[in-house]
Chain A
Amino acid sequence: METLTEINWILACYTDDVPENGGACIKHGDEQIAIYNFTRRQEWYATQNLCPHKQQMALSRGMIGSAGEHCEPKVACPFHKKTFSLLTGECLSDDDNCQIKTYPIKVDAGKVFIGIAC
């Protein structure tokens, strides 16, 4: 997908700050961003830290995993186990229309960068 907005890459943290196959939260201004180190898949993801279900700052503390035949990467909120796709931010738990924000993420020489649209 081609995006027309300019992306500003910010240094979020270092790779060993985020536990293997788990998440951690970073502060960017007033924003809380959850970063996931999906070691098993050699992948990194970033989403909003807020779970829209009960407005809790908790997604970074959730368990990550995969759903379905195509192994869609997902995170489960620790509060009530609502699950969200790490790719699209779509809520995967049934009959829910809520959506979370995802951020572009890249890793370079032990540093983790998050793309913030500006």
Chain B
Amino acid sequence: MVGYKFCEKLVSKTSAFRIIVFGEESRAAYDRVHLSEYFNGKSAADLSLSTEAWYAEHDIVLHLGNPVQEINRSTKTVHSLLGDTFEYDYLVLATGSSAFVPDIPGVEKDGVFVYRTIDDLELIKAYAPNVKKGAVMGGGLLGLEAAKALIDLGINETHVIEFAPRLMPRQIDSAGSAMLQSKLTDLGLNIHLNKSTAYIGGSHKIDALHFNDESALAVDMLVISAGIRPRDELAKLAGLHTGTRGGILVNEKMQTSDENIFAIGECALYENMIYGLVAPGYEMADIVVNQLTGGSKLFYGYDMSTKLKLIGVDVASFGDAFITEPDCRTIVFEDTHKGIYKRINLSPDGKYLLGGILIGDADAYNMLLQTVNNKMILPPNPEDLILGSRGDGEATGAGVMSLPDEALICSCEAVTKSAICGAVNDGATTVDSIKKCTKAGTGCGGCIPLVKDLIAGTMKANGVYIKNVICEHFDYSRQELFDLIKIGKIKNYDVVLDHFGKGDGCETCKPVVASILSSLWNEVIVKQDTIQDSNDRFLANIQKGGTYSVVPRIPGGEITPDKLIVIGTVAKKYNLYTKITGGQRIDLFGAHVNDLPAIWEELIDAGFESGHAYGKALRTVKSCVGSTWCRFGLHDSVSFAIEIEDRYKGIRSPHKLKGGVSGCVRECAEAQSKDFGVIATEKGWNLYICGNGGSKPQHAQLLATDIDKETLVKYLDRFLMFYIKTADPLTRTATWLNKMDGGMSYLKNVIINDSLGIALNLEEEMQQLVNSYHCEWKEAISNPDMRKRFSHFINAPEEKDPSVQFDTMRSQVKAKDW
């Protein structure tokens, strides 16, 4: 990575050098920072930083799988593995590091791996399918990454073995380690501390780890991640000075003991320190480029602050994390319930932040690091930095705009605040354009939230009114366009584009307009099929492999045995995979597009309707058993759920909508995790709104208590219609509420007290939508023109897509992996 960065920086400065690159691996430079993502779907190509074409384009000669074997400093030549000899004026060593393998008997056995390169990962991946118990030796940063990889590979039982008494001893303090350990244990990881391994058991294949305390642990696989060793063997051979514990000695110019040879990255030892992070490596590359092009920039060490997500747990340390009293004052916040630990170290006078540690919640990392690096004066209550302000009022800290101009925002690419704000002033107002013109955010990506805030802050400072325009074709927010289309009574996408937009539309604005048209006029959506997202165009969810899934509506989750039999018969006939969904219905996967009309014909004949699982629309209203059977139930939750689902079914909205009805406070329908949730009380029903599951779960909030059914439906009408009319595209109700000025108290006023005077309108508009309900599938199968669209080849309508292939898993079909 660092070697590649050096080439990139050098060719951007000058073309005076002829560059020859030698690499040991068969691949060009790739992203080692995100190596573990290889196990959750990223391919080697996704991880690659560059292509051979890039090197060719810049006249750089690339020798892959052909490492330098020997340096002859007197003749200034290098000899490569394949027997070539090349002359150099300057030589840059970016040989990186290798995994440190401790000298334990048995490390040569099958099933023992290291975790360093894509090749290592491929070996691990190939071995993993038969492994039931895996272990990682090393509880540092890389070790925990490796443990994550084993979990991702589906190894049920994963152990981490650490020699030290705690995890990540180099980055975090012992209280932080304890918190991290308890979080990771909760997530299913088995952690063993204070364990030193005596030998690896097994005849030729590992079967156990034996420890010095005479205990043993049966495992089928071991990944060693006990630290790194700088690759200095080539330098040693050439007589360059190296450190006693490895590493090529360099000065502040990154020169080795030979002034024509430089060393950068993890192989370089600067003032007794190996910098095992990417950002300082990039900085070293920059220093050498600067030296070679006549500059005088020097290396003075580097901030080793870091933030990571380890197995889903945020871990960050910044500035001077380990300094203790009396050299500083510390503020510690610990919440063992949620697994959060935060520590900040202040200067003894309380004016400056020196460093700190964050576990479990590292949202504040970027701002805290900036506060340290820019020596910003702390607010009077510095505890607010980690606790957030309590009670009402603005968030503490002056925010990104108060940072000094020279504040380093992107440390991977060394981009300052002034560079980013300058680019915004020059017209780069999106993250993508900032990435293109400043390179900020193209490394680890950790600074992107700050970049976004800077873009918004700079534009606001320039007096630009920021609104969320839909895309390049429409200079309006969704809410504005909704009103314009309504007032103009427009029913067709092209007319909308002619009136209010420009160009020919795109995959962003077409579905937005389609959704607005549907929310306003509720016409059959397949009449304008090509402005619908693929799922809405074929009224089914496109799945891996190009087949579709079919979800009939099962209101409230109630279904008769006869209907169940129909679903089973249809699934068998068309060879579909069946699964119960989270919303109490049945999903049928693997349908060819050609089969969809016939499948739906059979389902509709049996009394089913479209479930709108493909649409941004009401999905399900989940219910518990309720008072008809349950001995605790207060009211009949199933009947009410069916009534609500039937009322709002088919209505298009900015995002999907889910509901739930529980018959008592035990809340078996999980109604408080839905966009709207209803819970029975002794006196009536409580209504909760704006909850959701998903990536950022949020509980729904109480809107009204002990109301009767009629009032509840009236409030729901108002709430849903207000959301449909005002939310941004693809915004769930929870996010919509979070962004709303005034929040829940404002929304409550609109819905219950009619503070905007629109309640009656909202109810009428909703009633129109309810009245114009139709089953889209019924319309589609009874119209020959629409039906014709459900074919894969238009010149061979009967033929199915031959590229669709299935595997078998647990006696059902499964899409082939991509």
Contacts and interface: CB of A to CB of B under 8 A. Distances in A.
Nearest to B534: A78
B792 A25 contact: yes
Interface in B425-455: 432, 435
Interface stretch (B235-243, B505-513, B562-570, B754-762): B505-513
A63 B533 contact: yes
B818 A65 contact: no
B504 A58 contact: no
B818 A21 contact: no
A21 B537 CA distance: 13
Interface stretch (B110-118, B220-228, B795-803): B795-803
Contact of A63 (B530, B545, B796): B530
B530 A27 contact: no
Interface in B235-277: none
B51 interface: yes
A65 B545 contact: no
A87 interface: no
B783 to A, nearest CB: 14
B483 interface: no
Interface string B758-797: 0000000000000000000000000000000100111110
A101 B531 CA distance: 24
Contacts of B505: 40, 65-66
Contacts of B818: 54-56
B510 A63 contact: yes
Interface in A42-87: 50, 54-58, 61-68, 71, 73-74, 76, 78-79, 81, 83
Contacts of B794: 13, 17-18, 24-26, 35
A56 B224 CA distance: 38
B503 interface: yes
A103 to B, nearest CB: 14
Given A13-B795, A24-B794, A79-B542, A61 B510 contact: no
B646 interface: no
A22 B507 contact: no
Nearest to B818: A54
Given A73-B504, A74-B506, A63 B793 contact: no
B799 A58 contact: no
B70 interface: no
A62 B533 CA distance: 8
B793 A26 contact: yes
Interface string B546-567: 1000000000000000000000
A61 B537 contact: yes
B506 A76 contact: yes
B538 interface: yes
A12 interface: yes
Contacts of B795: 12-13, 17, 26-27
A109 to B, nearest CB: 17
Contacts of A79: 542
A81 B509 CA distance: 13
A82 B546 CA distance: 15
A3 B511 CA distance: 39
B523 interface: no
B529 interface: yes
B494 interface: yes
A71 B504 contact: yes
Interface string A20-43: 111111110010100100101100
Interface in B44-65: 51, 53
Interface residues of B, number: 39
A57 B546 contact: yes
B472 interface: yes
A97 interface: yes
Nearest to B804: A57
A20 B530 contact: yes
A76 B535 CA distance: 14
Contacts of A78: 533-535, 542
Interface in B484-515: 494, 497, 503-507, 509-511
A76 B531 CA distance: 12
Which of B494, B511, B793, B802 neighbours the largest number of chain A CB atoms within 10 Å of its CB? B793
A76 B803 CA distance: 20
Given A25-B792, A27-B796, A55-B818, A61 B534 contact: yes
Nearest to B442: A95
A6 interface: no
Nearest to B538: A61
Given A22-B529, A57-B546, A61-B534, A27 B793 contact: yes
Given A12-B795, A19-B789, A40-B494, A62 B545 contact: no
A78 B53 CA distance: 29
B546 A21 contact: no
Contacts of A94: 432, 435
Contact of A19 (B509, B530, B546): B530
A65 B503 contact: yes
B594 to A, nearest CB: 12
Interface of B: 51, 53, 432, 435, 472-473, 494, 497, 503-507, 509-511, 529-531, 533-535, 537-538, 542, 545-546, 789, 792-796, 799, 801-804, 818
Interface of A: 12-13, 17-27, 30, 32, 35, 38, 40-41, 50, 54-58, 61-68, 71, 73-74, 76, 78-79, 81, 83, 94, 97
Given A27-B796, A38-B504, 6 more contacts: A17-B795, A22-B529, A22-B537, A32-B793, A55-B818, A57-B801
**Nearest 4 A/B pairs, CB to CB:** A22-B530, A78-B534, A65-B506, A76-B507
